């Protein structure tokens, strides 16, 4: 995972920071003063200038990586559901960060009370969603990867999204601004502007991945339909003929374009993908080409 800004955390890690300490990365010189550690004197410089200078090194810190995972009911849509795809992306992003000794937090929204119970635990009982969310709030170290995968896999989707509220709460709760990865379909009726603005204002480097199902991008069902909103339950009867497909797809394309333009204007990297996208193609080609990956 790459971050344009240097890590500001106070905890040790493998990310370059503006702090000065012990590392192999040379940063600068300063004049020697009585009491400085003689091991860090630059003797080559002393030989040329006949003055004592101390070598300073960049101290390596951890980079907080915060993953915002949309687990609302609308994410269950699709033959390969948007939520299944989002969980895979979250697991991949988290693994890369854990291998770099960064601290990973997963913010799942809506809250646990709105979603069904998770997979069966070791004793056969159901693991509460709240327990999984708690275990995902702060994870560090490559040794934690397997448990991290299991916890992410155990998450379920359901309930009504509160996209803006979730991102605003996450921005306020973060001790240090780092990298924020937002995984959602971005279809909350309340919009996405307030939540993303909160992350920008907090100083996060933001990557948005908009996930849409193939059926949303190119519907194959036509005729007289009764559409039911998965989250609100609102029903709408429509007549959708094949002749309207191009107009529908243009509407979807316009929505995606507005999201991209909004993000671009605020320094946010935004990707729009189908839940049928090959995960390797997204991770190794699209995200790497945009310098999300090292």
In whole angstroms, give the CA distance from residue 30 to residue 54: 5
Return the ∠ at Cα 249 (arms to 262 and 81), rounded to 5°.
Answer: 80
How does residue 54 score in pLDDT terms, banded at 50, 70 and 90? confident
Q: Mean pLDDT across the stretch 63-90?
A: 95
How does residue 232 score in pLDDT terms, banded at 50, 70 and 90? confident
Strands of the sheet containing 269-274, edge to edge, are 139-140, 103-109, 65-70, 179-184, 205-212, 269-274
Flag whether the pTM goes above 0.85: no
Domain boundaries, the chain: 12-61, 65-289
Look at residue 150 in the predicted model and tell me its pLDDT: 94
Q: How many helices (H) and strands (E) does the chain have?
A: 10, 10
Look at residue 63 in the predicted model and tell me its pLDDT: 84
First to last CA, the chain: 5
More confident residue, 214 or 5: 214
Look at residue 58 in the predicted model and tell me its pLDDT: 60
Look at residue 14 in the predicted model and tell me its pLDDT: 46
How does residue 282 score in pLDDT terms, banded at 50, 70 and 90? confident
How does residue 13 score in pLDDT terms, banded at 50, 70 and 90? very low
How does residue 59 score in pLDDT terms, banded at 50, 70 and 90? low
User: CB 237: neighbour CB atoms within 10 A?
Assistant: 8
Mean pLDDT score of the chain: 85
User: CB 205: neighbour CB atoms within 10 A?
Assistant: 22
Return the ∠ at Cα 284 (arms to 136 and 251), rounded to 5°.
Answer: 85
Q: Which CATH class is domain 65-289?
A: alpha beta
Look at residue 120 in the predicted model and tell me its pLDDT: 58
Q: Please state which of the ranges 23-27, 81-85, 199-203 shows the lowest mean pLDDT.
A: 23-27
Look at residue 125 in the predicted model and tell me its pLDDT: 61
How does residue 195 score in pLDDT terms, banded at 50, 70 and 90? very high
Residue 126 has pLDDT above 80, yes or no: no
In whole angstroms, give the CA distance from residue 122 to residue 150: 12
In whole angstroms, give the CA distance from residue 1 to residue 291: 8
More confident residue, 38 or 265: 265
Q: Mean pLDDT across the stretch 249-276?
A: 96
User: CB 23: neighbour CB atoms within 10 A?
Assistant: 17
User: What does each C-alpha distance from 137 to 131, 175, 199, 248 come to in angstroms?
Assistant: 10, 13, 17, 39
Q: Token pair of 249, please?
A: 């797809």
More confident residue, 2 or 219: 219
Residue 7 has pLDDT above 90, yes or no: no
Instruction: Tell which residue, 210, 177, 204, has the closest CA to residue 267.
Output: 204
Q: What residues pair up with 53 in beta bridges, in sequence order?
A: 31
The H-assigned helical ranges of the chain are 43-49, 82-99, 129-135, 145-153, 163-173, 193-202, 214-217, 245-264, 279-281, 287-289
Q: Mean pLDDT across the stretch 22-51?
A: 78
């Amino acid at each position: 995972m790459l971050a344009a800004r240097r890590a500001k955390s106070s905890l040790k890690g493998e990310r370059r920071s503006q702090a000065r300490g012990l590392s192999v990365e040379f940063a600068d010189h300063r004049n020697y003063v009585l009491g400085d550690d003689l091991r860090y004197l630059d003797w080559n410089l002393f030989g040329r200038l006949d003055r004592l200078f101390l070598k300073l090194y960049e101290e390596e810190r951890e980079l907080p990586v915060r993953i915002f995972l949309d687990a609302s009911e609308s994410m269950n849509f699709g033959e390969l559901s948007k939520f299944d795809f989002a969980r895979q992306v979250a697991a991949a992003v988290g693994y890369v960060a854990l291998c770099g000794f960064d601290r990973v937090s997963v913010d799942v929204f809506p809250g646990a009370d709105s979603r069904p119970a998770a997979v069966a635990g070791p004793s056969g009982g159901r693991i509460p969603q709240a327990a999984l969310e708690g275990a995902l709030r702060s994870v560090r170290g490559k040794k934690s990867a397997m448990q991290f995968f299991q916890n992410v896999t155990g998450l379920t989707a359901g309930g009504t999204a509160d996209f803006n509220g979730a991102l605003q709460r996450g921005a306020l709760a973060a001790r240090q601004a780092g990298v924020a990865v937002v995984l959602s379909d971005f279809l909350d009726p309340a919009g996405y502007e307030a939540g993303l603005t909160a992350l920008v204002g907090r100083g996060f480097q933001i990557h948005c991945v908009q996930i849409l199902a193939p059926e949303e991008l190119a519907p194959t069902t036509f005729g007289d339909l009764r559409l039911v909103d998965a989250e609100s339950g609102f029903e709408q009867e429509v007549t959708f003929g094949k002749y309207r497909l191009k107009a529908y797809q243009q509407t979807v394309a316009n929505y995606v374009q507005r999201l991209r333009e909004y993000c671009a204007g605020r320094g946010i990297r935004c990707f729009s993908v189908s839940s049928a996208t090959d995960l390797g193609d997204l991770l190794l080609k699209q995200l790497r080409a945009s310098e999300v990956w090292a």
